[in-house]
Amino acid sequence: MNLIELNRALRLLRLGGIAAVLEMRLHQAQAEAMAPIDLISCLVADELTRRSDRLLERRRKQARFRDPQKTLDNFDFTFNPKMNRSLVFLAIALLSFNTMLLYA
């Protein structure tokens, strides 16, 4: 199986993340004399990262935020001195933990 056929097969298997970086990772594996398991690990990690990024982007679009680029990191907590920043982050952390338990 050549590289073109392998890319086609990966896309049919819905492994587009691996297909997108396969050639680059093969060159890296040759240059660094990677073990086969290390190459596969890198490819799987790339696929997982791509899927995670796409899921996050899809959820941002579905949420229809007014300004999707705003995050809590650049939120201005000084406009309301009564708001406790650490409590806001704790509430979000607990919510995500409860969500993880709910879908586990």
pLDDT confidence bin for 97, thresholds 50/70/90: low
pLDDT computed for residue 92 by the predictor: 80
pLDDT exceeds 90 at position 53: yes
Annotate 4-71 with three-state secondary structure. Answer: HHHHHHHHHCCCHHHHHHHHHHHHHHHHHCCCHHHHHHHHHHHHHHHHHHHHHHHHHHHHCCCCCCCC
Select the highest-mean-pLDDT range: 54-58, 83-87, 97-101.
Answer: 54-58
pLDDT computed for residue 98 by the predictor: 55
Q: Which of 21-25, 40-44, 61-65 has the lowest mean pLDDT?
A: 61-65
- Global pTM reads 0.68
pLDDT exceeds 80 at position 102: no
pLDDT exceeds 70 at position 103: no
Cα separation, 19 vs 11, whole angstroms: 7
The answer to whether 1 touches 9, Cβ cutoff 8 Å, is yes
Q: Looking up tokens 């997982």, which residue turns up?
A: 48
pLDDT exceeds 90 at position 43: yes
Which amino acid is located at 93 in the chain? A
List of residues 6+ apart from 9 with CB closer than 8 A = 1
